[in-house]
């Protein structure tokens, strides 16, 4: 009854607007419909990006304004629109209704549910296109966003508000890194909202991702936005902006958000398709001239807001798929230059069993270092240096047959470091366990453990530490640089475990 009264009172308030406002409508007529792009006459008062509604209720967005006509991308089924159909402008820009209810849901870029649950209503309408926050509202990246992957957290750290590109060939574990990062957010004290945007992917792949997030209990703080390969190019084009709009809703509430764009190569393809149908001049690789702006305006919306502005952040993990490890192609170079670093995955490393297949030499994080805790910084400096020495020596060692003892020792250490950085999929680690593993290798405590037993040793060591030395792990998770006493305790822990390890 209370609900009924509320509805009626809301309607009474709105009654004036129903009759009073927006008496004028700007209408048009469909001239032609080419592959989801509609050319319409009329619409003289329309503006770029405005939402239009067709006679049958389907919606579109204006992408071109010519002298006598407007070009509209249709956001739905194209077959029902025919020549002569009427359409009208709405005076609204494209937006998506967002509320907390969206968490755990799978939606399309326009907010329509894809998971057999009811549509989110009464949410806040967030515009898909928005100018990114200005310089004054921002502050430098300073808080880490843990991925739970040893190689990344130690050597290519990601900060909240950063844009870190994941780049590599097909089947090299790009999505796996993003999914692991989402799963790892459940260990955070301050929750990070995760948004996974699937662009132009197979529906089976998207289903697998959803299933995995669900089984890892990561769906409760995640939103999945899906524009699969079978969806119109217009929806694929809008999907990342939609993800950003959802992220901005939570940002306004002062929350930290992680957005994964999987992947921007297919996003560029979708935009190329639309641009070619719109007859925009084609440039390199047939991409339109504004393909750089397409991604720069999207990734620029990643932000770390200052405390006065709520202190929230949007971290972006865009994914780019390369062909034959060629990072100098058009779209990869564009996105590399836009982002604050890249995680470069290589297929030969993947095939050699080094997983995650991160090429440490070519991967960088330009701002993440400032966000790293002192605890992990204290072990990662040595790791990076020793790995770099190993990589340069390994190339030479292939030619020479006899090596001196020092070189041999360095090579051996490098192999061990590479081995400890291997990590199974969907098994992200907390920071204290990462430090424990890395410290055990860099301080030569694991020099007498055979390489083939490394994985088992590490796993059992973690169990042992959790059971016998929870106080050491607690000290490490505080983020402070380990004191001498803590270092001694870690050494004791590892030595004690080694005696038990058979």
Angle ∠(461,441,385) on CA atoms, nearest 5:
150
CB 314 within 8 A of CB 142: no
Question: Which tokens go with 69?
Answer: 């006509």
* Single residue of 1, 12, 24, 484 touching another protein by CB under 8 A: 24
- The yes or no reply on residue 84 touching another protein (CB under 8 A) is no
Whether residue 356 is preceded by a cis peptide bond, meaning omega within 30 degrees of 0, is yes
Q: Does 409 bind another protein (CB under 8 A)?
A: no
**Minimum CB distance to another protein smaller for 24 or for 398:** 24
Residue 101 three-state SS: helix
352 binds another protein (CB under 8 A): no
Position 44 contacts another protein (CB under 8 A): yes
E strand or H helix at 241, and its extent?
Answer: helix 233-252
CB of 437 to another protein, least distance (A): 51
121 binds another protein (CB under 8 A): yes
Residue nearer to another protein on the CB measure, 88 or 366 = 88
**64: β partners:** 71
Catalytic: 138? no
Q: Strand pairing partners for 96?
A: 126
Largest CA distance in the chain: 91
Q: By C-beta, is 110 or 158 nearer to another protein?
A: 110
Report the residue number, 122 or 307, with the smaller CB distance to another protein: 122
> Which run of H or of E encompasses 410?
helix 405-420
Residues 6+ apart with CB under 8 A from 316: 162, 163, 164, 259, 261, 299, 301, 302, 339
Confirm or reject binding of residue 68 to another protein (CB under 8 A).
yes
Work out whether 28 is an interface residue with another protein (CB under 8 A): yes
Minimum CB–partner distance for residue 31 and another protein (Å): 8
CB 310 within 8 A of CB 254: yes
| Of 116-124, 211-219, 266-274, 479-487: span binding another protein (CB under 8 A) | 116-124
Q: Would you say 32 or 253 has its CB closer to another protein?
A: 32
Size, binding site for another protein by CB under 8 A: 22
Stretch that binds another protein, among 39-47, 146-154, 210-218, 487-495 (CB under 8 A): 39-47
Q: Spot the catalytic one: 138, 203, 297, 366.
A: 366
Q: State which of residues 1, 19, 308, 502 lies at the interface with another protein (CB under 8 A).
A: 19
Selected from 122, 190, 467, 499, the binder of another protein by CB under 8 A is 122
> At a CB cut-off of 8 Å and minimum separation 6, what does 426 contact?
176, 179, 180, 183, 212, 216
Among residues 14, 279, 468, 488, which is the contact residue for another protein, using CB under 8 A?
14
Q: Kindly give, in sequence order, each residue whose CB lies less than 8 Å from that of residue 441, ignoring residues fewer than 6 positions away.
A: 383, 416, 417, 420
Instruction: In angstroms, give the least distance from the CB of 26 to another protein.
Output: 6
Q: Is 13 in the site for another protein (CB under 8 A)?
A: no
Nearest to 317 by CA among 243, 208, 385, 389: 243
x-marked contacts with another protein along 419-448 as a string, rule CB under 8 A: ------------------------------
| 244 C-beta neighbours (distance < 10 Å), count | 31
Active site residues: 366
* Chain residues in the site for another protein (CB under 8 A): 7, 11, 14, 18-19, 23-28, 31, 41-45, 68, 88, 118, 121-122
């Amino acid at each position: 009854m209370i609900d009924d009264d509320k509805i009626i009172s809301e309607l009474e308030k709105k009654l004036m607007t129903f009759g009073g406002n927006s008496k004028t409508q700007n209408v048009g007529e469909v001239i032609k419909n080419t592959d989801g792009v509609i050319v319409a006459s009329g619409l003289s008062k329309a503006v770029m990006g405005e939402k239009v509604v067709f006679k049958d209720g389907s919606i579109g967005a204006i992408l071109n304004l010519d002298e006598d006509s407007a070009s509209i991308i249709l956001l739905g089924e194209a077959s029902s629109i025919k020549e002569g159909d009427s359409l009208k402008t709405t005076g609204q820009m494209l937006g998506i209704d967002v509320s907390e209810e969206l968490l755990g849901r799978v939606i399309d870029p326009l907010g329509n549910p894809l998971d057999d649950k009811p549509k989110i209503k009464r949410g806040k309408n967030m515009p898909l296109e928005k100018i990114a926050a200005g310089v004054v509202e921002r502050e430098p990246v300073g808080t880490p966003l843990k991925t739970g992957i040893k190689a990344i957290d130690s050597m290519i750290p990601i900060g909240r508000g950063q844009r870190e590109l994941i780049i590599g060939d097909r089947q090299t574990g790009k999505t796996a890194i993003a999914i692991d990062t989402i799963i790892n957010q459940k260990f955070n004290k301050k929750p990070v909202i995760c948004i996974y945007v699937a662009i132009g992917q197979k529906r089976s792949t998207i289903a697998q991702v959803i299933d995995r997030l669900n089984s890892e209990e990561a769906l409760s703080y995640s939103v999945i936005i899906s524009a699969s390969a079978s969806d119109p190019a217009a929806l694929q084009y809008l999907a990342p902006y939609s993800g950003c709009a959802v992220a901005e809703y939570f940002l306004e509430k002062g929350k930290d958000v992680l957005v994964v764009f999987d992947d921007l190569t297919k996003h560029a393809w979708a935009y190329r398709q639309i641009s070619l149908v719109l007859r925009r001049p084609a440039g390199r690789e047939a991409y339109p001239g504004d393909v750089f702006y397409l991604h720069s305006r999207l990734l620029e919306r990643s932000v770390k807001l200052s405390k006065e502005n709520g202190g929230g952040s949007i971290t972006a993990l865009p994914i780019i798929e390369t062909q034959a490890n060629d990072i100098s192609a058009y779209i990869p170079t564009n996105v590399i230059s836009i982002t604050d670093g890249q995680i470069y995955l290589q297929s030969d490393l993947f095939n050699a069993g080094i997983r995650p297949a991160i090429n440490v030499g070519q991967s960088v994080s330009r701002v993440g270092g400032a966000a790293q805790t002192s605890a992990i910084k204290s072990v990662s400096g040595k790791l990076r240096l020793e790995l770099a020495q190993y990589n340069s020596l390994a190339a030479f060692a292939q030619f020479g047959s006899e090596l001196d003892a020092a070189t041999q020792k360095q090579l051996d250490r490098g192999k061990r470091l590479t081995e400890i950085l291997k990590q199974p999929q969907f098994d992200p680690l907390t920071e204290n366990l990462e430090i424990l593993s890395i410290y055990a290798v860099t301080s030569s405590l694991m020099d007498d453990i055979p390489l083939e037993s490394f994985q088992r040793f590490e796993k059992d060591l973690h169990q042992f530490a959790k059971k016998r030395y929870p106080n050491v792990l607690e000290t490490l998770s505080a983020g402070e640089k380990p004191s001498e006493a803590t270092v001694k305790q870690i050494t004791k822990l590892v030595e004690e475990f080694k005696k038990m390890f058979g």
